[in-house]
Amino acid sequence: MRQRRKEGQQLTSLTVMNPFTGSCPRETLERVLASLGCSPTSAEVAAYLDKHDTLQHLRGEFLVPKIAELPPSDLSLVDGTKECIYMVGNSLGLQPKRTKKYLEEELEKWAKTGVHGHIEGSRPWAWAENNLEELMANVVGAKPEEVAIMNGLTVNLHLLMLSFYKPTAARHKILLEDKAFPSDHYAVDSQIRLRGFDPEQSMLLLAPRPGEDTLRTEDILEVIEKEGDSIAVVMLSGVQYYTGQLFNMAVITEAGQRKGCYVGFDCAHAAGNAELKLHDWGVDFACWCSYKYLNSGAGGLGAAFVHEKHKHTIKPAVGAAARSEWFQAVQPAHPAGLSTAGQFRGV
C-alpha cells in the first residue's frame, strides 16, 4: 500500500515535470520506469504512456479491424467485438477513415468528367503531386523540390542507382546490410551486374557481430574507413525492416562522403516512423514507400529524394520534376478546359 502511494506521488511529479520533452524515446522510457519503479512490461507503464500520449486522438482517424474480422482469431479466447492491437503498420498501415470519402470523390469525378478530371475539380490529377510534395518533404526532412512521388520503392531504388552508381575499376563496391530487405539485395545485385561487375566482388555486406542482432555504428564506420576508397555507394536502411534498428544516418552519411562515397538510404521503415532530416544530414539519395507508416494503402506510390546539391551534376533517370514540367508544357492555354482529349495522349 505504501509502495502504491509512493508510485502515485511519483506519477504526479512526473506529470508536472513532463518526462516527454527534450529526450529520445529510450531516455523517456527509462525516466518513466525509474520514476514509477515498474518493469517496462507492467500495465502501469503502458497506462501512464497512453495517458500522456499527445497524439492519441489520431488513433480515431483510422479504421482498426475488429478481432472477429481477422482470420486467425480464436473467439473462444478473445472478445471478437473489440478492436485488435495493430502492430503491423510496418507491413501495411491502417486505413485512414477519410480515404474512402476522397476515393469516392475522385471516382465520381472520373465517372462524370472522364479525361477532364486531369485538370478539373479541387484536386486535378495532372498536377496532383504538386500538393503532396511539400507534405511528403516534411515527413522526411527535405525540401519539396528534392522529393518526387512516383513509382514503387524498388523501381525508385533502381532509378537512383542508375544515377548514383557509376563504378570504376578502383571504386566499384556497394555497401549494404547482410540482411537488407530481399528486393533491395536483388536490386543492388542487378545494378552491379548491369555495370559489368561481379556481385561477389562488388557487394560488401555488413553483418552484426556473432551473437548480436543489430549493427553497431562503430562497426559500420570502421568498414567505411577501411574499405571506403573502393566503395562507390553506401546503401543502408533508415530503420532495419527486421530488427527495427534505427541507423545513425547523419554519422554514416558524413563518414561515407568523407571517403568519397555516395550515401543513400532505403527509408521504407523510417518514413513516418522516425524523425528524418535527409536534407540537413546531406544524404545523397533516398527512397521509400507510402503504404506502411504513411497509410496510403497497398499499391500506394513510392517516393524518392535527391539532395539539391546534385541539381547540376546528377541527372535523375526520371523524376517527378520532369513529369511536372512536361505537364506544365501541355497545360491548355485556356484554363477553362481541354479542347480535345487528344491533348493528354501519353499521360
Ligand X SMILES: Cc1ncc(COP(=O)(O)O)c(C=O)c1O
181 counts as binding ligand X under rule CB under 6 A: yes
Q: Which grid coordinates are listed for 103?
A: 476515393
**Considering the rule CB under 6 A, would residue 262 count as an interface residue with ligand X?**
no
Query: Is the Cβ–Cβ distance between 243 and 214 less than 8 Å?
Result: yes
Question: Which of the residues 79 through 98 are near ligand X (CB under 6 A)?
Answer: none
Instruction: Name the CA radius of gyration of the chain, rounded.
Output: 24
* Least distance CB 264 / ligand X (angstroms): 12
Beta strand 231-237 pairing with 285-288: unpaired
Task: Build a one-symbol-per-residue string for 205-244: x at contacts with ligand X by CB under 6 A, - elsewhere.
Answer: --------------------------------x---x---
Q: Site for ligand X (CB under 6 A): how many residues?
A: 13
Helix (H, G, I), strand (E, B) or coil at 232: strand
Work out whether 269 is an interface residue with ligand X (CB under 6 A).
yes
Q: Using the rule CB under 6 A, is 177 a contact of ligand X? A: no
The region of 56-64, 121-129, 263-271, 272-280 touching ligand X under the rule CB under 6 A is 263-271
Assign 306 to helix, strand or coil: strand
Whichever of 163 and 237 has its CB closer to ligand X, that residue is: 237
Interface with ligand X, residue 285, by CB under 6 A: no
Determine which residue in the list 153, 232, 236, 304 makes contact with ligand X, applying CB under 6 A: 153
**Amino acid, res. 118:** H
Residue 252 Cβ, how far from ligand X at the closest point, in Å?
16
**In this chain, which stretch among 38-46, 66-74, 146-154, 170-178 interacts with ligand X, using CB under 6 A?**
146-154
Does 36 sit near ligand X (CB under 6 A)?
A: no
Subset of residues 189 to 208 that bind ligand X, contact rule: CB under 6 A: none
Sole binder of ligand X in the list 235, 268, 278, 294 (CB under 6 A): 268
Cβ-contact 160, 287 below 8 angstroms: yes
What does the DSSP 8-state code read for residue 224?
H
Could you tell me if 298 and 313 are in contact, meaning their C-beta atoms sit under 8 angstroms apart? no
Task: Count CB-CB contacts under 10 A for residue 80.
Answer: 14
Q: How far is CA 305 from the centre of its chain?
A: 11
Judged by CB under 6 A, which stretch of 48-56, 257-265, 266-274, 319-327 contacts ligand X? 266-274
> Quick one: which of 184, 228, 271, 320 contacts ligand X (CB under 6 A)?
184
Listed in sequence order, the residues at least 6 apart from 304 whose beta carbon sits closer than 8 Å to its beta carbon are 147, 148, 150, 151, 156, 159, 160, 285, 286, 287, 316, 319
Contacts of 172 (CB under 8 A, 6+ apart): 192, 195, 197, 201, 202, 230, 232
- Footprint of ligand X (CB under 6 A): 152-154, 181, 183-184, 237, 241, 266, 268-269, 289, 302
